[in-house]
Amino acid sequence: MLKTNRPPCVRTRLLVYGVVAFLTASRAAAQEMEPRAYSPAPVGTTFLVAGFGHFQGPVLVDPSLDIDTVNGDVWLMTTGVGRVFGIAGRQARVFALIPVAFGRVSADAQQQAFSQTVRGLVDPRVKMTVGLIGAPATKSVTAAAHRPLVVGTSVTVSVPLGEYDRTQPVSLGRHRWGFKPELGISDVIGRWTVEGQAGVWLFTTNNQHYPGNAHQSEDPIVAVQAHVSYALTRRSWLAVSGTAFSGGQTRVDGIAQPNLQRNSRIGATLSLPIAAKQSVQFVYGAGVATRRGWDFSSFNVTWQFVTF
């Protein structure tokens, strides 16, 4: 157990906030920077993906909390499936992602150490995207690919099916729903693709927060993304991305916690074809400015199979 000058229940909660910050970042980082998320595709296209990622590094918490650092070493495995179809003459896409995580999270406070193993299902996500401009429903691969300007909207839903134990301070699931409406734009200029996305995460209340009977609410998180990608040869491409987000302060039984987020991250994605209908993506992300909690690095490899 950690030993500080605070009462045991307060010490435990302070540690929980730091550890949950890392696990939340680990779950979100693979999804929050998505280059080419609004690129058009022909109706009838099916996507299958499988990947793994590694998240490692410190989570910096408020110095007043008597916790020096929270360090994580977490692996994330994902599987997903998506489908492109038509709605009222517009192109639409639905994609479901199921992640599983395992690893260790540790913390130090006044020369005392804490470590916990985490493993299990993380809250799955389902995302639906609809093209508003420049994305008509078409089965032609050529017609779908030659749409320079695309404007679309999407809704992502985080489903509370992840591993959750209300008697434990740390769980991979959040035991609450999350919804993210978003607006995105994509413009193709020669070999270059420039994209921008803006959305907001909205959360329901977790009424079984640790130690099992507490009520935890979370303020909305406003997030923006920007991507610039360059088409290389043979269906390969390289993208540089950036994201910034603000909000997410939580309240436990109505008491505000010191975990407001105002952070930014950058990343890079390299997509390479490995067969006629297959490709592999390498994604790296790192923190740029961290007000609280998300100063870690991540690396993901994702295999994708596409059929028309």
Residue 305 CA to chain centroid, in angstroms?
21
Asked if 141 contacts 179 with a C-beta cutoff of 8 angstroms, the reply is no
pLDDT in tens, 214-266: 999 999 999 999 999 999 988 899 999 999 888 988 898 999 887 787 888 89
The dihedral formed by the CA atoms of 205, 126, 244 and 104, expressed in degrees to the nearest 10: 70
What 3 state SS string does 90-109 have?
A: EEEEEEEEEEEEEEEEEEEE
In DSSP terms, which residues pair with 229 in a beta bridge? 193, 239
Backbone φ and ψ for 63, nearest 5 degrees, come out as -60, -25
In DSSP terms, which residues pair with 118 in a beta bridge? 103
Q: Where are the alpha helices (DSSP H) in the chain?
A: 8-32, 141-145
Q: Which domains, from first to last, does the chain contain?
A: 8-307 (2.40.128.130)
pLDDT value of residue 29 = 39
pLDDT value of residue 274 = 95
* DSSP assignment letter at 59: E
- Specify the pTM: 0.85
Look up residue 35 and give its two tokens: 């280059």
pLDDT value of residue 6 = 42
| Residue 232 vs residues 48, 91, 156, 226, 274: alpha-carbon distances, Å | 23, 26, 30, 20, 14
Instruction: Give the integer Cα–Cα distance in Å for 130 and 302.
Output: 24
In DSSP terms, which residues pair with 117 in a beta bridge? 104
| Cis previous bond, 211, omega within 30 | yes
Look up residue 218 and give its two tokens: 């979370």
Instruction: Give the integer Cα–Cα distance in Å for 169 and 293.
Output: 17
CB burial class (10 A; 0-12, 13-18, 19+) of residue 221? buried
Closest CA to 199 of 21, 25, 17, 33: 33
User: What percent helix, strand, coil does the chain show, rounded to 5?
Assistant: 10, 60, 30
pLDDT value of residue 289 = 58
Instruction: Find all residues with CB under 8 Å of 49, minimum gap 6, and list them.
Output: 78, 79, 80, 81, 82, 97, 302, 303, 304, 305
For residue 237, the number of C-alpha atoms closer than 13 Å in the C-beta half-sphere is 15
Sheet with strand 250-252: strands edge to edge: 206-209, 214-218, 250-252, 255-256
In order along its 308 residues, the chain shows pLDDT tens digits of 333 344 444 455 555 555 555 555 444 433 468 899 998 889 999 999 999 988 776 655 544 445 556 677 888 899 999 999 999 999 999 999 999 988 887 776 556 677 778 889 999 999 999 999 988 999 887 766 666 799 999 999 999 999 998 887 667 888 999 999 999 999 999 999 999 999 999 999 999 988 888 999 999 999 999 999 999 988 899 999 999 888 988 898 999 887 787 888 899 999 999 998 999 999 998 876 555 555 567 889 999 999 98
Instruction: Find all residues with CB under 8 Å of 167, minimum gap 6, and list them.
Output: 210, 211, 212
